[in-house]
Each structure stands twice: as C-alpha cells, then as structure tokens.
Structure 1
C-alpha cells in the first residue's frame, strides 16, 4: 500500500524540508552565537569581524558571580518566583479546569472564552491596577508580590489548558470510580488526575517558561530585594555602553535551564500539546 508520504510530490517534500531547515537555522544560529560569545574575551566579542576560532574563557561568568555583580540572588529570586507561581497555577488550574470541563451549563464555552480572554489583555493594561493593589498591600519589591503577579498572568491560561485535558477523559472513567465507592474527591485525585499527567507537565512547563522569562512584571513590581535574571541583564545596558560578554553570559544562563527542562519532559510535552489541541471543547 502506498503511503501518503510516497504520494506527496517530490517538490512539495523538498519545500517542506527547506522550510524546516530555515526555521531551525533561524532559531539555532542566534542561540549558538550567544553561547559562543559568552565564552569570548571582550576583544573577541567586539571584533569588527566575527571570530570563529578563539580562545575560550570563563571570565564573563566569573565576573557575574564575584564582587558587586553577584548573580546568585537574582537566580534565587527567579527560581522562587517562577517555580512557586507555576506550581500554584497548575494546582488551581487543575481544580478549576476539572470543574469547567465537567459542568453541563449551557454557557460553558462562553465562560472558558472569558477566562482565557483575561490572558489576552496587554500587560500595560494589567500593570497599573496591580501596582496600586500591591502598593496598598505592601507587596512591592517582594517575592510574594512577584508570585501573585505571575499567577494572575498564568492562571487563566492554566485553567483553559487543563479544562481541555480533562475534557479528553471519558466521563465513564469517573462514573466507574464513583460506582466503585469513591467519593468525588477520591475519583478526581486517584483516577482522573493521573490520566492528565501529560497535561499537568505541559501546563507547568509553559507557565514556568512564561514566568522565568518575564521582564515587564519584574521591572514594575521588583526591587533590590526581589529582582530577577531579566532585570540583571537589563542593568548591563548603560549609557556608557553594553558589556556584550556578560550580557551573552546572562542570556545563556537564562535560556539553557528552560531548554534543559523542555528536553527533559519533551515526551509529556508533545503528548500534552497534541491532546490539548485536538479537543473539541
């Protein structure tokens, strides 16, 4: 039997491959350039012509973790704010998504759209009212303030995505658990939730990436006691010039953990994104 790929014209297959190659180059070349530049000296980084053969050095990374430029607190703040906010977003999003997927009200789709529409609002529209609320609650320049800011941004997305995953679970699965003597909570915790493991992983990773890379909320709500990695990178751009070596080193530190996290859970991530995309809810 001839497969669909075999029936595809050669020109079309070559065109698809060319687009994929261009997309990979578009994505990977800047990343490779950034990582390579982080190991270059100041002379090599600012050379008029690109230096492909150079003597690697760790001076840029050493400078980031010594003296007044110690990057340790920034990393710790990023880990705390993004990690805790992502866990809370997944936990609350799973409960709300379960309720949204299981409800039989006629306006369910409208409610789901209203929830995700709050995520569509420009950050500039959200920042001002949040700033007034946080200032009144004394949450400016604090890790809890950043966590709440990230949570307001990630929670609508988490609810919407988790409701799609729960909609993929057949109702008969939960009904069988209830008939077997489980309470509603036991059926959710022991039967339904494990079936959406790929969805939980997908939602957590996406929320983590959004929070880890955030610049706008960190710029407005953080201060000397809560600044994150993107703010540390911004401080290297001054009126006197840009330290390209240290800037690319910070960029590498920011990007690589998320790449490693994505690769570590890629199996669940691909499965989760696929299931979430085909749901009819």
Structure 2
C-alpha cells in the first residue's frame, strides 16, 4: 500500500489508496523546505495552504483562512490543525514529527483534507471533523479514503494513564461515539465507568487495543494511529478505505524527525492536491 518515491534524489512516501491524487509524506531529507517549496514537486500550478498548528480540532478551508479571526502575529498564519480544499488544484499541508499526518480524499468531489492529529487533537476527534466537512461538499462515507502517515508507534509511545484514557474516551460508546458499520467485529469499546483503573483494564482487554501495558507505574503505551482508525470505523468508514503507514518516526531516525527521540522542534511535511 505504501511506496517510496524520490524527488531531487530525496525520499518521500505515497499511499496507493491515494493514487488518483498528487500527494506525499515527505521525510526529514526535505528539511528545511516549507510547503511553498514542496508544492511544485506535486503540482506545479497548485496554490499552497498551511496553518499554525495548535493541537486542536479546528479544520479550515482556504477561504476561511483568509477571513480567520485567530492569526499568529509572528507568522501571519491562521490557527488550526486541519485544512479542507474547496476547488481543484489546491495543495493543503500539515507538519508533524511524532503526531499523525492524515491525508483524506473524497472520490465523489475530488476534494481533499490534510490533518495534524496528535494525542490532543485525536482526543477531540479532529479526523471525524475533517471527514464530516468533506462530506458536506457531496458524496458519502463510501467515497472517503484515508492515509495515516508515519508517526510514533504505540509500542514505543509511553504516556500517563490519564492521557491514555483521555484519548481512548473518544472511541467509547456513550461518550459521543457509536460503533458504525465500519467495525470489523463486535469488539467495539464499551461505555466508561468513571473508574480509571477499571476503564483502562477494559480498554487494554480489547482485541488489537490502542493501549498496551507499560512496566512503569502510572504509564501505558498508546497507539494514536489506531485510535484515529477506530474513530473512522465508528463513523462508518470501512477498513478497506483506511491505510496506516508501516513506519515509526521514533524508530527510523534516518528518515524522520521525532521530538520524543531528539527533543528538538523539527518537522516533516505531508501534503495533498485536490482535483
């Protein structure tokens, strides 16, 4: 499902699900290039759109960026963590290190979205916001395809129990989430009880759980990619419409920056062009 490509002799990833769209999950080798410099690698005539990311659930269109009330004074960029195209030949970009870069396309309209989903944005359901907004332009859930790019693997992502539970609350029935047609089995997360340890035990017991035990007291391992996948399944997106990159930013320093590994604020960009 995932292929290495090269530009100027430098590597980047594409996903077969998005083969009909010009897109790329760019590696650290392209640093310090910004989206304006990367867009021509995908489409020479596309306009370029990006945000100042804030670990939230705000998804904006290029028009909304122009009229945004909240702007970072230093850069002039609107604040948000997701971008949604309105017309053809618009390139939308998100930056990430260990967080999830998610590219989404609507086969019916040709519109696309780029989402930055860290644990905070994931707990707020930003990927569901993006899909809902994409469908407002037309099409159905069967038209949605999603590629979740390189991010930190759950096996090495240690968080507090409180963070693990906060993120996984977004996939629990009775917490603003219901098991949609996309679930492959009856293993949908159950409602939470309000007891931290009991709820964590229940989540850890799920088949292919996004939580893994950790030997350190008060900690668990969290697969944020899996949580986003479960959110999409619960919304009604089938597994065949979702692909997760088999690459970990923390464990592959030759290709990716990782804040957890380096404690440096360095990022790689992911972008997609509407058609």
Give TM class, smaller chain. Answer: under 0.3
Which is strand-richer, 1 or 2? 2
TM-score by length of structure 1 reads 0.26
Q: Which has the larger radius of gyration?
A: 1
TM-score by length of structure 2 reads 0.27
Higher relative contact order (CA 8 A, sep 6+): 1
